[in-house]
């Protein structure tokens, strides 16, 4: 009987997994939309410069961080702190989404309809709680 129940759950598990992946991917796209394409393309350089400023090293006048600081009327240290904070927030959200993706994979291993429903609802609740990021 248990084998039959597990076998009957396969389509439900695949559907739950697919729904979860679609919601996670939608959240990832929404997160990326909060940052312009050009900003994302320069993240590596911005982070390198922000870390240098935080460590007390000088950066050139013609660097992206120096120019952004000047255009915003901030100190380089203030701009570096802003870059690092935005990067940390993005990283936290991205890692949470990746964790949910891994959690979604466990939907395929569940052998009980009630547990499957509860696990899918837990993923939905986590995505709702994360909406502050995107």
**pLDDT at position 12, please?**
95
Q: Contact at 8 Å (CB) between 59 and 52?
A: yes
pTM of the model: 0.81
SS3 89: helix
d(CA 134, CA 43): 18
For residue 37, the model assigns a pLDDT of: 92
Closest-CA residue to 123 (of 46, 25, 41) = 25
- Compute the C-alpha angle 125/129/131, nearest 5°: 120
Helix intervals (H) in 34-75 = 37-41, 43-54, 64-72
pLDDT truncated to tens, each residue of the chain (134 aa)? 344 555 689 999 999 999 999 999 999 999 999 999 998 999 999 999 999 999 999 999 999 999 999 999 999 999 999 999 999 999 999 999 999 999 999 999 999 999 999 999 999 999 999 987 76
Residue 85's pLDDT is 96
Cα(77)–Cα(129) distance, rounded to whole angstroms? 32
CB 96 within 8 A of CB 134: no
DSSP strands (E only) in 13-123: none
- Indicate the SS3 state at residue 59: coil
């Amino acid at each position: 009987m248990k084998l039959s129940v597990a076998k009957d759950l396969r389509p439900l598990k695949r559907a739950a997994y697919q729904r979860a992946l679609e919601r996670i991917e939608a959240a990832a796209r929404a997160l990326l939309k909060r940052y312009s394409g050009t900003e994302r393309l320069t993240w590596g350089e911005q982070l390198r410069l922000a870390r240098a400023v935080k460590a007390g090293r000088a950066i050139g006048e013609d660097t992206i961080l120096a120019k952004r600081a000047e255009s915003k009327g901030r100190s380089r240290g203030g701009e570096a702190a802003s870059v690092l904070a935005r990067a940390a927030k993005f990283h936290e959200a991205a890692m949470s989404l990746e964790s949910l993706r891994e959690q979604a994979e466990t939907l395929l291993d569940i052998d009980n309809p009630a547990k499957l429903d509860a696990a899918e609802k837990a993923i939905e609740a986590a995505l709702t709680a994360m909406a502050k990021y995107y």
